[in-house]
Amino acid sequence: MTQKDFRKVAAEFVGTFILLFTGTGAVVVNEVTQGAVSHVGVALTFGLVVLAMVYAVGDISGCHLNPAVTAGFFLAGRFDRQSILPYVASQCLGALSASFVLRIMFPTSVMLGGTIPAGSAMQSFVMEFFLTLILMFVVLCVSTGSKEKGILAGVAVGAVIALEALFAGPISGASMNPARSLAPAVASLHLNSLWIYLAAPMLGACASVPIFRLTHGFQEPVPAVE
């Protein structure tokens, strides 16, 4: 692995750690303070931390922070096949590290900010599928290659995450990210519904690629990030 490649996976590790520590941390703090953060506050926390990370590490790694986003970029022809495993591994390790830190800080928390269906499994599966499809569509629209570029890219991506968390959080948890759901599920040993949050976001991100091509034309794929 070259120094440049190491910096990319390190940025994905750090960015995903910060995402989980602040995002799921907001959920945990909201629970232990009997609602001081509020549902709106949790949604805004997720949106704002992604916005911040786009500007912090976007120029290094592309700020995927999400295995589904990495898969979507690959299918769109914007990401190198050889980089998929290092990216996904660093994202999952960063997320797991954050969840175990929260486990130490809040030992009485049952779910550690994990995602579980409020209704049926199929309802949450469909919700997560379309939430991730929308998120990936926006990411593809505002990105160049596999990087979010431009002053408004972070705003757009952060805004759609906050928007989706605002209305869908009470139903499915609005994960849109396999690493985001995997880490607290493993740290809290609540694995029953994990398959929903692993499969649905991956399928939704992949389904967004042909929709993006339909709306933006079947142009040549943008070169993968160097």
| Complete DSSP assignment for 41-66 | HHHHHHHHHHHHHHHHHHHHH----S
Q: Is 226 helix (H, G, I), strand (E, B) or coil?
A: coil
The domain that holds 12 is classified in CATH as 1.20.1080.10
Is 18 contained in some domain?
A: yes
Would you state the pLDDT for residue 149? 57
Give phi and psi for 125, each to the nearest 5.
-60, -50
CB neighbours of 189 closer than 8 A, spacing ≥ 6? none
Question: Measured between alpha carbons, how far is 178 from 182 in angstroms, rounded to an integer?
Answer: 6
Domain tally for the chain? 1
The whole domain housing 157 covers 3-216
Minimal CA–CA distance to 135: which of 86, 191, 78, 200?
200
Contact in structure between 158 and 51 (CB atoms under 8 Å) = yes
Is 222 contained in some domain?
A: no
For the full predicted model, state whether its pTM sits above 0.85. Answer: yes
Minimal CA–CA distance to 134: which of 155, 158, 152, 161?
161
Is 105 contained in some domain?
A: yes
91-133 pLDDT, tens digit per residue, is 999 999 999 999 999 999 999 999 999 999 999 999 999 999 9
Give phi and psi for 222, each to the nearest 5.
-70, 135
Is 130 contained in some domain?
A: yes
40-73 pLDDT, tens digit per residue, is 999 999 999 999 999 999 999 999 999 999 999 9
Would you state the pLDDT for residue 145? 66
Is 114 contained in some domain?
A: yes
Is 113 contained in some domain?
A: yes
Is 221 contained in some domain?
A: no
Please, which residues bridge with residue 144 across strands?
147
For residues 21 and 216, the model is more confident at: 21
- Cα–Cα–Cα angle for 207, 196, 184, nearest 5°? 120
Is 9 contained in some domain?
A: yes
CB neighbours of 190 closer than 8 A, spacing ≥ 6? 110, 111, 114, 116, 184
